[in-house]
């Protein structure tokens, strides 16, 4: 009897030990399941109601906006919105032409990767009334922002007032509805949006892309903002500024129409700037100087209404990764940009050195190729085969003092040229694809007015 009792006594601690282990494992599993469910809940909660709006205002220079320091109040509504938004002060386009720059925004790739290099500017060489022209298009293998968001459960809508942004160039990929106008003005764009409003808003979360064209040449003197000046150049700049005012009114109208002050991630930017004779040229697609590639970027967040200015250099290729981050999607390794969310939320460590590129390819009589590397306060521009320019963007905002021939700049120049060449040689590149476009007399005349045909 006593032997059996001792036997039982020896077994009791052993059973308690296993019971304790199982209890700990069981409790750990419960905690794990709860954690997983909370992560899933928070993820769903985070992405559930965010509408995504991306607005591009064609040919809009950032330095012609009051919240970027312009003395004239060209954008009262945007200025008011900027008081509740994130403003990036140093934003660079990937090109000074619409098609390649907007393709970069859509894909987070540089022009020499997605191969949309010219758009309708190919028509400059058209000599017949009804020519068939091959236009660059976004390759089928490249994923666009609309395709990303459609896969994430968004209804997708887009309207462009620029023929460069349409089916011909592959921009319609991933959209449930997409309309392309031929420079009919912001009011016409808004009329379409009013007709679409019920359809857009009735089916849950949506992505809407809007491309306003008004600040693009030819500039119209919009009343009551246009003021006649003494010289031809001053008059055109006054007209250009009045086009910004006109677009600002359109933005105000559509913002109120859709009530984007609720559950909306709103991004407003431009495809490129405008020369305005800073380096002897009026429009764009002529160079990679600052006036042609520096653009505004305003981000109005769904969760914060606090003004913040960020001076870190960023690029149009950063917009798609930022959208991904805000709605909880993983970053794609096929995209070259970075999410701006850590910068906005002060979650970055010491700023990492970053090189940003811009590229311009054009064919007039001979092929002309420009390359730009932007690093900290520096921009290094190459016009192949021979021309080299180096500018300090902080001290020389107008880029008039070429420091390339300064002996102290030699090391920096070598680094900036190597960085571009190295990236160009190693980066992912896609096969160039084309759309055949037939031009009639009416289209020819319209495109001549926009500078796409000579």
The answer to whether residues 331 and 318 touch, using CB atoms and an 8 Å cutoff, is: no
Residue 151, pLDDT score: 97
pTM, 2 dp: 0.86
Specify the 3-state DSSP secondary structure of 179: strand
Q: pLDDT tens for residues 54-89?
A: 999 999 999 999 999 999 999 999 999 999 999 999
Mutual angle of helices 186-201 and 232-258, in 10-degree steps: 20
Q: pLDDT tens for residues 416-438?
A: 999 999 999 999 999 999 888 77
Q: pLDDT tens for residues 278-294?
A: 999 989 999 999 999 99
Q: pLDDT tens for residues 191-209?
A: 999 999 999 999 899 999 9
Q: How far is CA 100 from the centre of its chain?
A: 11
Residue 4, pLDDT score: 46
Residue that wins the pLDDT comparison between 453 and 313: 313
Calculate mean pLDDT across residues 15-27: 52
Specify the 3-state DSSP secondary structure of 134: strand
Confidence category of residue 35, pLDDT binned at 50, 70, 90: very low
Confidence category of residue 454, pLDDT binned at 50, 70, 90: low
Run of H or E including 417? helix 410-426
**Domain-wise residue ranges, the chain:** 49-346+437-449
Run of H or E including 114? helix 111-114
> Which CATH superfamily does the domain covering 49-346+437-449 fall into?
Alkaline Phosphatase, subunit A (3.40.720.10)
Residue 205, pLDDT score: 96
Q: pLDDT tens for residues 393-416?
A: 999 999 999 999 998 999 999 999
Residue 303, pLDDT score: 82
Mean pLDDT across the chain: 87
Tell whether the model's pLDDT for residue 34 goes beyond 80. no
Calculate mean pLDDT across residues 343-367: 82
The rounded percent of the chain whose pLDDT value lies above 90 is 73
Question: If we measure between CA atoms, which residue out of 180, 136, 14 comes closest to residue 430?
Answer: 136
166-195 as b/e, with b when 16 or more CB fall inside 10 Å? bebbbbbbbbbebbbbebebbeebbebbee
The answer to whether residues 175 and 157 touch, using CB atoms and an 8 Å cutoff, is: yes
Residue 313, pLDDT score: 97
Residues 6 or more apart whose CB falls under 8 angstroms from that of 331 comprise: 321, 324, 325, 339
What is the distance between the alpha carbons of residues 269 and 262, in angstroms, rounded to a whole number?
20
What is the distance between the alpha carbons of residues 161 and 59, in angstroms, rounded to a whole number?
13
Tokens of 233: 């150049």
* CA Rg value for the chain: 27
The answer to whether residues 243 and 58 touch, using CB atoms and an 8 Å cutoff, is: no
Q: Tokens 């296993």 belong to which residue?
A: 18
Residues 6 or more apart whose CB falls under 8 angstroms from that of 454 comprise: 124, 448
The answer to whether residues 243 and 87 touch, using CB atoms and an 8 Å cutoff, is: no
What is the distance between the alpha carbons of residues 213 and 190, in angstroms, rounded to a whole number?
12
């Amino acid at each position: 009897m006593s032997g059996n009792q001792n036997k039982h006594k020896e077994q009791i601690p052993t059973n308690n030990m296993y019971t304790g282990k199982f209890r700990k494992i069981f409790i750990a599993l419960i905690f794990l399941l709860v954690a997983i469910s909370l992560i899933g809940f928070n993820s769903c909660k985070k992405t559930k109601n965010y509408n995504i709006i991306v607005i591009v205002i064609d040919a809009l220079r950032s330095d012609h906006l009051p919240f970027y320091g312009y003395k004239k109040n060209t954008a009262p509504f945007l200025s008011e919105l900027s008081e509740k938004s994130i403003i990036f002060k140093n934003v660079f386009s990937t090109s000074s032409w619409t098609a390649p720059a907007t393709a970069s925004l859509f894909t987070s790739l540089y022009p020499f990767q997605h191969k949309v290099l010219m758009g309708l500017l190919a028509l400059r060489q058209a000599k017949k009334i009804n020519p068939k022209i091959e236009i660059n298009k976004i390759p089928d293998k490249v994923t666009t922002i609309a395709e990303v968001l459609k896969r994430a459960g968004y209804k997708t809508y887009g309207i462009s007032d620029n023929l460069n942004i349409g089916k011909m160039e592959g921009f319609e990929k991933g959209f449930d509805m997409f309309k392309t106008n031929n420079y009919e003005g912001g009011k016409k764009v808004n009329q379409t949006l009013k007709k679409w409003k019920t359809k857009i808003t009735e089916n849950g979360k949506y992505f809407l892309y809007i491309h306003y064209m008004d600040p693009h040449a030819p500039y119209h003197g919009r009343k009551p903002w246009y003021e006649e000046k003494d010289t031809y150049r001053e008059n055109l700049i006054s007209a250009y500024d009045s086009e910004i005012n006109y677009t600002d009114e359109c933005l105000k109208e559509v913002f109120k129409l859709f009530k984007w002050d609720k559950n909306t991630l709103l991004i407003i930017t431009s495809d490129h700037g405008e020369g305005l004779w800073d380096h002897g040229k009026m429009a764009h697609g002529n160079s990679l100087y600052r006036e042609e590639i520096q653009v505004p970027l305003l981000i109005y967040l769904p969760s914060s209404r606090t003004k913040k200015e960020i001076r870190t250099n960023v690029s149009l290729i950063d917009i798609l990764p930022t959208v991904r981050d805000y709605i909880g999607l993983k970053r794609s390794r096929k995209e070259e940009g970075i999410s701006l969310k850590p910068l906005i939320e002060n979650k970055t460590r010491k700023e990492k050195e970053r090189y940003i590129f811009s590229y311009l390819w054009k064919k007039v009589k001979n092929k002309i190729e420009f390359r730009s590397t932007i690093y900290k306060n520096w921009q290094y521009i190459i016009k192949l085969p021979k021309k080299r320019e180096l500018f300090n963007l902080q001290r020389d905002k107008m880029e008039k003092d070429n420091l390339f021939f300064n002996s102290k700049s030699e090391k920096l120049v070598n680094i900036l040229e190597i960085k571009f060449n190295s990236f160009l040689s190693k980066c992912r590149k896609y096969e160039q694809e084309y759309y055949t476009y037939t031009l009639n007399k009416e289209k020819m005349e319209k495109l001549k007015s926009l500078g796409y045909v000579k």
